[in-house]
Amino acid sequence: MPKLHPPTPLRTSYTVFGALMIVLLLLVLSTPETVDIEARGNDRPARFALRPGAGAAFGSAAAVGFFAFAVMGLFSSLGAIIVRGQLGITSYFVAGLAPFTAFAASALAQLALLRASQAVALVTGTITFPIGLALTAVSLYHPMLWLALVAAALSGGGAGLLFKSAVAETVGAAAPASRAGVLATFFVIAYLGMGLPSIAFSIVIRHVALQPAMIGFAAVLSLGAIAAVVTARRHK
């Protein structure tokens, strides 16, 4: 009788993801350049250049992007662990609902307020962002799947709106010829937000119980995002 090997859903998913990334990389490399790469000296625009007096606006927008991505990093890296650990659900599909809900809510919130002003999107995101994080902490004390998913939806939706507003602010702060470089810098900062806080949180919960650690994490992210938004509004 042939020996049956146990399924490896996590390994298989990363293998498929890696294969898709290779395909995408090949497509990017085969895409023709859209700018004049032969430009030299003064003809080549600066890779990173802001409009006069827009440094503070870019800094606050980058901070908003950092905190918005920190929430997405939390749910994408630890959302499944929270669902499995607190609810005792072993299904990989159900465990993946938390990060899926956060990312889906982020996209839907941006689409829902597509025609809304930047101020409306920013205020809505600033309100729903901390509410979602607070409910995430509450869901750890009262483990219920619906509550965890509602918390993920509110957090993700708020983060999406904050991110959308931060991107618009970044574009406005960039010199026209350097928008690509300024946006690239913005995304580097945002992706640092996706990784570094989650790594710090995973280290903290090795020494502190998950519930109080989540309260502290939610408070830090909420206060940081609100402070960044207030700073951004002052430099409008």
The model's confidence at residue 192, banded by pLDDT at 50, 70 and 90, is very high
Tell me which of 160 and 175 has the higher pLDDT.
Answer: 160
pLDDT of residue 1: 47
Residue 177's Cβ-side half-sphere holds a number of Cα atoms within 13 Å equal to 8
Mapped onto helix, strand or coil, the DSSP state of residue 116 is coil
pLDDT of residue 36: 62
Q: Which of 27-31, 74-78, 136-140 has the lowest mean pLDDT?
A: 74-78
Question: Would the pLDDT of 67 be above 60?
Answer: yes
Domain residue spans of the chain: 62-172+179-235
Please determine, looking at this structure, whether the domain spanning 62-172+179-235 carries the CATH number 2.40.50.100: no
Closest CA to 101 of 70, 81, 76: 76
Tell me the average pLDDT across 176-202.
Answer: 89
Tell me which of 11 and 126 has the higher pLDDT.
Answer: 126
In single-letter form, the type of residue at position 41 comes to G
Closest CA to 51 of 149, 140, 172: 172
Tell me the average pLDDT across 93-113.
Answer: 89
Q: Which of 41-50, 98-107, 125-134 has the lowest mean pLDDT?
A: 41-50
Closest CA to 218 of 195, 234, 197, 191: 197
List phi, psi (to 5°) of 174. -80, 145
Unique residue bearing structure tokens 């600033």: 126
- Give this prediction's pTM: 0.80
Tell me the average pLDDT across 56-69.
Answer: 92
Tell me which of 116 and 183 has the higher pLDDT.
Answer: 183
Tell me the average pLDDT across 107-135.
Answer: 90
Cβ atoms 233, 122 nearer than 8 A? yes
Q: What is the CA radius of gyration of the chain?
A: 20
